[in-house]
Amino acid sequence: MIKDSKNFFADKDVQVILGTLLRVGVISSMSVVFVGGLIYLFSNYSGLVDYEKFNPGKSGLSSISAIFSGLRSLDGSAIIQFGTLLLIFTPILRVVFSVFSFLIERDYLYVLIGLFVLCVILFSLSNKLVG
């Protein structure tokens, strides 16, 4: 009976850690996007934007390496993109943490399911982020 209550607290602790991980990820992403937005507004306040024709490759921030090189120069749009990446990678980190928590509990079926989910997520992002 003591062993059951210990597992209950371990499960509850894992849930608290996962909730905190998601909360911290979203708040940090929001903060980075806000700071990047302020930098972008202060550095580009006089620029005119042409909304007549959409050009998605105009910013040049379509890969992780381009975003990190923009971060080194404190480019506001690169900082905003980095905040978006933080928001994307927060649930991925949650899946990774869940896999490790299932490994600790020796629940190998859920480890396999978690690894499958992680592989699907990474495969779906692989051609979008590497360039």
Token pair of 74 as six digits? 């404190």
How far, in Å, are 59, 81, 112 from residue 125 at the CA level?
20, 15, 20
In angstroms, the CA 66 to CA 57 distance is 12
pTM comes to: 0.73
Tens place of pLDDT for every residue, the chain, 131 residues? 444 444 544 677 778 888 888 999 999 999 999 999 999 888 877 777 676 777 666 666 777 887 888 888 888 888 999 999 999 889 899 999 888 888 888 888 999 999 999 999 888 877 765 55
SS3 87: helix
Residue 77 neighbours by CB under 8 Å, 6+ apart:
36, 40, 59, 61, 70
Query: Tokens for 15?
Result: 């849930």
Residue 113 in tokens: 């399911």
